[in-house]
Amino acid sequence: MSALVQYLITGISQGFLLALLATGFVVIYRVTKVVNFAQGAFVVFGGFITYSLLGAGVPQGVSEVLAVLASAAIGLVFGAVTILGKMTPTASLITTIGLAILSEAVAMLVWGTVPLTFSGLSGHDLHIAGIFVQPQYLLLIGASIVVLLVLWLVLERTYVGKGMTACASNPYAARLSGINVKAMGLLSFAIGGALGGVGGVLITPLFPITYDSDVNLAILGFAAAIVGWLTNPGLALAGGLAFGVSEELVAGYWSDANQTAVALALMIVLLLWQSHRRQQVEKLV
Amino acid sequence: MVLSPAASGPPAGDGTGEHTPLLSVDRLVVRYGAAVALDDVSLEVGRGEMVALIGANGAGKTTLLNTLSGIITASSGAISCRGRLAHVPEGRELFPDLCVDDNLRLGAWKAASRDPADVYELFPKLRDLARRRAGYLSGGEQQMVAIGRALMAKPDLLAIDELSQGLAPNVVQEIGRYLVRLNADAGLSVLLVEQNARLALELCSRAYVLETGRIAAEGPSSHLKEQPAVQRAYLGGHVAT
Amino acid sequence: MRFLRSLTGANLPASVATVVIGAVTLILPMMLNAPDLITYVTIGLSTMVVAGLSLLIGFAGQVSLGQGAFYGFGAYAAAIMALHGWPPLLALVAAVAMTAAIAGIVGAVLLRLEGHALAFGTLALQLIFLSVLNQTPSFTGGAVGLTSIPSLTIGPIAISSYRSYAYLVWVVAAAVLVVSRNITRSRPGRGLRAMATSPAAASATGVNVVSYKLRDFALSAAFAGLGGAIYAFFLGYISPDAFPVMLSIEFLIMVVVGGLGTISGAYVGAAAITIISQVLTAIGTAPTLPPQLPNVLSEGVYALLLIALLRFVPDGVVGLASRITKRLLPTRWRPVAGHKVAPAPAPGRVVLEDAGSPDHDAAAADPGQGTSPAREALSRPLTSTDG
């Protein structure tokens, strides 16, 4: 029983990480129609930059915030490279692939190949449902919820947020209304970067990351985003949690090595089901 | 090509003094690759005028409007607009997942005030629909929202593409009356781009005829109505496609 | 002059370049030594993979990150069968067929979705492939891999020396390029192109979009599997390390370097990246430098190359070369310009409108019209009829 609770808590935390990633995918895709392959890199940068700042003596708390801002800035740069100028969708996609590789190279260069971590929320382990849980887990879950909630409010309730939705649903009309669609695209990339950065900052104390952590994260984050058809953040959140928990359960009850394969197989099944649904919808249109 | 910055010029003209048109398009040429979409197009819209641009599908009407709003870059020629231009696109092009009120407010992206009160006063029906998602409205209601959205930018010139498309005749008439009222009361200039020549010539005092990228005819509506060529092509019973 | 033109189609400079390059690469193996021959073979094998991938991306608009997996699958399939006593040639053919079959199944699932889903799906495929390899040591040798793979024998001829593999690879790569080229020129090829720019338009004209995508996907996988199978026989030893995710990325970069959608660019891209990769390795493994530098260098350089090319030279080396030659040539010898003005269009050809077309690939890469002499130049056949 306690093992199950353990897996669930780990799974839910991983799930929120994936949800942050997935939301990043969704925000970027909605506005720019680009799938950002480099989404996982923001997690890596968020974690590594925090590590370096802490190492340089910047206080706990400040480092994390700075790291998130830095990730947002990196996102902005990635966005500029990806969508500014005349780029076809294919070219943009491949560009984000290139950016992901570049991120790995830079990460390897600056931080080396050894997994890095830093201490997160200090304090005694909490006693929950029969097991001891590090407070960092709760921070991860709590902070993720807050961040996602704030983001949702911004997108749904603020003028700029609605402007982004407008760009997402009808870029032509948005342009006619005077909205700078490219600028909105850059903003979405910055948001994606920030979301990834938050994820990195929160997860690294629990699970050390390396320069190539981005690939697995990107794939699973994408899988979660797919649950939301790449456009629905709520479903993406659900997808993230589902993938996070199932991964942990597979790792716990079956085998560590299989967890990725199972998750990926799940994703493919999901894609298949979704395409079936879409075809049905298209028949009605 | 030159697009003058949309600075707000002097207030709506009174017809006396120099004739400086609000919008003047001079020998505009627009190319798609090797094909020429607009060939040496020149036209004018004066302050307080309602001008029609009549043409069949594929004549280049939408291309012209897209060039006026800056979506497309011309290959040569000049556009000069001494005021703000708002473009109501063909097919309404609303933001379907946002409510009517949001759609209107977004039209004011570049304007000083985001308050849609004036639009609700013009189109009272929209008040009841303010919270309804734009995708769920009828064609006529959507057209009103589209026009309202454009009006939120406080334009001096309203360019409307295919007002009548997909709308029942009585709805079109109703909206047409709104436009005439806007023009008469507020001095709003209108460029009505239409396949439906009858409607266009009815509402507007002056018209141009665009055929395969060229201005084929122009003049006061009353004159154009009489021209046999125009009658045959656009008014004579068969629908030009 | 006119005779030559009729022989080679509208694109004389390209055909001349083709002959030259074909001849040069044919005699090259005689002059190279062992280490260079390995490079030669590697380039040739990569060419096969890249031709298929270029077809897939440039014409079907589908970005696949799984060519490394198909390459590896072909290698493993052929190796396992050969080690179990199958005649090597049969193993090779069977491996290619199996790779195509797997791709057909996977593709039927993944191709219904838009491009980005395919990219992630094929990447996932690659990861699953590697995972399976590591998990089935009894069958695949696990992390250690398979050794002592017998040499390829075609009938009574044993292909065992580097030089003979070089010639074999030349022949097979040439065949692959020809087949790819013919596909792009045939009516389905053009239909595919129309589809890449506008699925709605394509389906309106009756082009069966999904089946062409699937065919291209399976074909590109088959080419990759073919390359992989030959690789297994050539090297005699394979392991999961030989087929990392970076391999798929490398193939992608080769496509971009050569020119998205060009077939002849496959060779250029393969050669360029293989050579660059070796240079980088040489630089990076100098004794005084940190151990991870080679990887950083190669990944970094690849990434920057990819990003820069996509932005500034999207039609690749071949496109660039064709633009340059077009400007340098006297008008008489220039290839017939643009697909809208080509003489005597073949009946039933889909005319591709350029108006505001978002897909520059369509505009830049239509080999059927001979717009790019360099592109034509580097494709294999010495004679080609237009249209």
Q: Which positions of chain B have pLDDT values less than 50?
A: 1-17, 237-241
Q: Which residue has the higher pLDDT, C3 or B195?
A: B195
Q: Nearest Cα to C385, choosing from C9, C100, C58?
A: C9
CA–CA distance, A33 with A124 (Å, rounded to integer): 45
Residue B119 lies in a domain: yes
Q: Please, which residues have CB within 8 angstroms of residue A39's CB and are 6 or more apart in sequence? A: A21, A24, A25, A28, A192, A196, A214, A217, A218, A221, A222
Mutate one of A30, A31, A157, A177 to test the B interface: name it (highest B CB count within 10 A). Answer: A177
Q: Which residue has the higher pLDDT, A124 or A138?
A: A138
Residue C253 lies in a domain: yes
CA–CA distance, B165 with B173 (Å, rounded to integer): 12
- How deeply is B60 buried, as exposed, middle or buried, from its count of CB atoms within 10 A (0-12, 13-18, 19+)? buried
Conformational region of residue C33, where left means phi above 0, alpha means psi within -120 to 50, and beta covers everything else = beta
Q: Which residues of A touch C311 (CB under 8 A)?
A: 81, 85, 87, 91, 95
pLDDT at C220: 93
Q: Which residues of C touch B66 (CB under 8 A)?
A: none
Asked if A98 lies within 8 A of C310 by C-beta distance, the reply is: yes
The stretch A21-30 carries a mean pLDDT of 95
Which is it for strands B76-81 and A131-133: parallel, antiparallel or unpaired? unpaired
The stretch C135-156 carries a mean pLDDT of 79
Residue C387 lies in a domain: no
- Please check the confidence at residue A29 and state whether its pLDDT lies above 70: yes
| Contact call for residues A107 and A48 (beta carbons, < 8 A) | yes
Which ipTM score applies to this complex? Answer: 0.85
The stretch C195-199 carries a mean pLDDT of 55
Mutate one of B95, B97, B99, B152 to test the A interface: name it (highest A CB count within 10 A). Answer: B95
- Please check the confidence at residue C9 and state whether its pLDDT lies above 80: no
Rounded to two decimals, the pTM is: 0.83
Q: Please, which residues have CB within 8 angstroms of residue B125's CB and are 6 or more apart in sequence? A: B141, B144
Q: Nearest Cα to B45, choosing from B233, B178, B189, B237?
A: B189
Count contacts between B and C (CB, < 8 Å). 17
CA–CA distance, C188 with C206 (Å, rounded to integer): 11
A108-127 residues touching C, CB cutoff 8 A? 108-109, 112-113
Asked if B71 lies within 8 A of A172 by C-beta distance, the reply is: yes
Given B125, B149, B173, the domain boundary residue is B149
Strand spans (E) along chain B = 23-32, 35-45, 50-55, 76-81, 85-88, 157-161, 189-194, 206-211, 214-220
**Strands laid side by side in the B50-55 sheet:** B85-88, B157-161, B189-194, B50-55, B206-211, B214-220
pLDDT at C87: 87
CA–CA distance, B214 with B58 (Å, rounded to integer): 11
Alpha-carbon dihedral angle through residues A119, A120, A123, A127, given to the nearest 10 degrees: -110
pLDDT digits (tens, 9 = 90+) for C229-250: 999 999 888 989 889 988 999 9
- Please check the confidence at residue C337 and state whether its pLDDT lies above 60: no
Q: What is the CATH number of the domain that holds A276?
A: 1.10.3470
pLDDT category at C372 given cuts 50, 70, 90 is: very low
Asked if C355 lies within 8 A of B32 by C-beta distance, the reply is: yes
CA–CA distance, C336 with C334 (Å, rounded to integer): 6
Q: Which residues of B touch A164 (CB under 8 A)?
A: none
pLDDT digits (tens, 9 = 90+) for C248-304: 999 999 999 988 877 778 888 998 999 988 888 877 777 776 666 777 778 888 999
B170 and B198: one domain? yes
The count of structural domains within chain A is 1
B79 and B122: one domain? no
B163 and B226: one domain? yes
pLDDT at A163: 94
Average pLDDT, chain A: 88
Ranked by mean pLDDT, which of A73-82, A254-263, A274-283, C31-40 comes out on top?
Answer: A73-82
B61 and B180: one domain? yes
Q: Which of A256-270, C17-31, C52-66 has the weakest average pLDDT?
A: A256-270
B102 and B211: one domain? no
pLDDT at B127: 92
For residue A23, the distance in angstroms to the closest alpha carbon of chain B comes to: 19
For residue B180, the distance in angstroms to the closest alpha carbon of chain A comes to: 23
Residue B11 lies in a domain: no
The count of structural domains within chain C is 1
Is C202 in a helix, a strand, or coil?
A: helix
Domain that holds residue A223: 2-284
pLDDT digits (tens, 9 = 90+) for A91-123: 898 999 999 999 999 999 899 888 899 887 777
| Contact call for residues A215 and A101 (beta carbons, < 8 A) | no
Q: Nearest Cα to B4, choosing from B22, B18, B17?
A: B22
The count of structural domains within chain B is 2
B184 and B74: one domain? yes
Token pair for A235 = 């479903």
B101 and B162: one domain? no
Q: Please, which residues have CB within 8 angstroms of residue A56's CB and are 6 or more apart in sequence? A: none
B78 and B195: one domain? yes
CA–CA distance, A38 with A126 (Å, rounded to integer): 35
Residue A104 sits at the chain C interface (C-beta within 8 Å): yes
Helices (H), A57-170: 62-83, 89-111, 135-157, 159-169
Q: Which residues of B touch A165 (CB under 8 A)?
A: 95, 97-98
B119 and B172: one domain? no
pLDDT at B234: 75
Percentage of the residues of chain C whose pLDDT score is greater than 90: 20
Q: Which residues of A touch C108 (CB under 8 A)?
A: none
pLDDT category at A16 given cuts 50, 70, 90 is: very high
Q: What is the CATH number of the domain that holds C150?
A: 1.10.3470
Residue B1 lies in a domain: no
B164 and B54: one domain? yes
Percentage of the residues of chain C whose pLDDT score is greater than 70: 73
Asked if C311 lies within 8 A of A85 by C-beta distance, the reply is: yes
CA–CA distance, A202 with A20 (Å, rounded to integer): 11
pLDDT at A142: 93
CA–CA distance, A178 with A241 (Å, rounded to integer): 38
CA–CA distance, C86 with C92 (Å, rounded to integer): 10
| Contact call for residues C64 and C220 (beta carbons, < 8 A) | yes
Q: Which of C41-45, C166-170, C201-205 has the weakest average pLDDT?
A: C201-205
pLDDT digits (tens, 9 = 90+) for A175-228: 999 999 999 999 999 999 999 999 999 999 988 899 888 888 998 899 899 888
Token pair for C105 = 């199944």
Mutate one of B100, B109, B119, B142 to test the A interface: name it (highest A CB count within 10 A). Answer: B109
Q: Which amino acid is at C23?
A: A
Q: Which residue has the higher pLDDT, A150 or C373?
A: A150
Average pLDDT, chain C: 74
For residue A172, the distance in angstroms to the closest alpha carbon of chain B comes to: 8
Domain that holds residue B117: 96-149
Domain that holds residue C46: 2-338+358-377
CA–CA distance, C213 with B98 (Å, rounded to integer): 36
